[in-house]
Amino acid sequence: MELSPTAYVILGMVSREPRSGYEIKALVDDTTRFFWAASYGQIYPELKRLSEAGLVEGVDAPRGERKRTVYAITADGEDELKAWLRQPPQTFEMREEGLLKLFFAGVLPPEQAAETLRAMRAHRLQVAERLRTMEPKAEEKKLEKDDPYPLMVLQGGIEFAEWFAEWCERMETRLLGSTQTKRSS
C-alpha cells in the first residue's frame, strides 16, 4: 500500500476521534503546521482516496442543519498508521530563505548580512512567542487525553525557535565584531 506523505497526517489526525476535513485542516494548522503542513487541496481529495482504500470511513454527522461528514479510522487504517509509525523517518527537509540569503551575503556589505540575521531572529522570536501561547492548552490536553507527545513536540518547536534566534544573535555579534576594525564601509 503506497500512500502519499499527507495521507499519514490525516490517518493520525483521525486516529483518536473522527473528524471532518475542515477540522483536520484547523488542527494541522495549529499543531503540526510548523513541521508538516497540509492544505484543503490535499486533504479533501486524500480523504476520498483513503475512504476508497478502506482506511477511513466517512459518517454523516450534521451540526444542526449544516451537513458535515466526519471520518473515522478503520481497523485497516490503524494497522497502516502503526506500520508507518514503526518505520524510521525518511523525510528531513528544510527551506530556510534566510540561510540562503546569508550564504550569498558576500556580495553585499556586512551590515546587510546583519540585517538578514536580525530579520531571521525577529521572526523566530515571534514564532516562539506564538507557540508559547499554545502551551497551556497543550498541557491540559496532555492530562485530559493522557498523551504527552503533542506537548513534547510543541515544546520542541519552542526550544528550536529560541535556539535559532540565539544563534542569529551570536552570528550578528560575530559579524559586527569582526568589522569593527575597519571603521564604516
Residue 150 near residue 142 (C-beta atoms within 8 A): yes
Tell me the closest approach of the beta carbon of residue 127 to DNA, in angstroms. 16
Of 68 and 142, which CB lies nearer to a copy of itself in the complex structure?
Answer: 142
Told to check if 40 binds a copy of itself by CB under 8 A, we report no
Residue 14 near residue 73 (C-beta atoms within 8 A): yes
Q: Which of 10, 11, 14, 47 binds DNA (CB under 7 A)?
A: 47
Helix or strand run (H / E) with residue 123? helix 110-145
Helix or strand run (H / E) with residue 175? helix 149-179
Q: Which of 63, 86, 182, 183 binds DNA (CB under 7 A)?
A: 63
Told to check if 3 binds a copy of itself by CB under 8 A, we report no
Tell me the closest approach of the beta carbon of residue 176 to DNA, in angstroms. 32
Give the list of residues 6+ apart from residue 27 with CB closer than 8 angstroms, or none: 13, 19
Of 22 and 34, which CB lies nearer to a copy of itself in the complex structure?
Answer: 34
What is the distance between the alpha carbons of residues 19 and 9, in angstroms, rounded to a whole number?
13
CA angle 85, 86, 90 (to 5 degrees): 75
Q: By rule CB under 8 A, what count of residues binds a copy of itself?
A: 64
Give the list of residues 6+ apart from residue 55 with CB closer than 8 angstroms, or none: 7, 11, 73, 74, 76, 77, 80
Contact residues toward a copy of itself (CB under 8 A) are 5, 8-9, 12, 15-16, 31-32, 34-37, 78, 81-82, 84-86, 88-108, 112-113, 115-116, 119-120, 123, 145-150, 152-153, 156, 159-160, 163-164, 167, 171, 174-175, 178
Contact residues toward DNA (CB under 7 A) are 4-6, 20-23, 26, 37-42, 44-45, 47-48, 63-70, 95
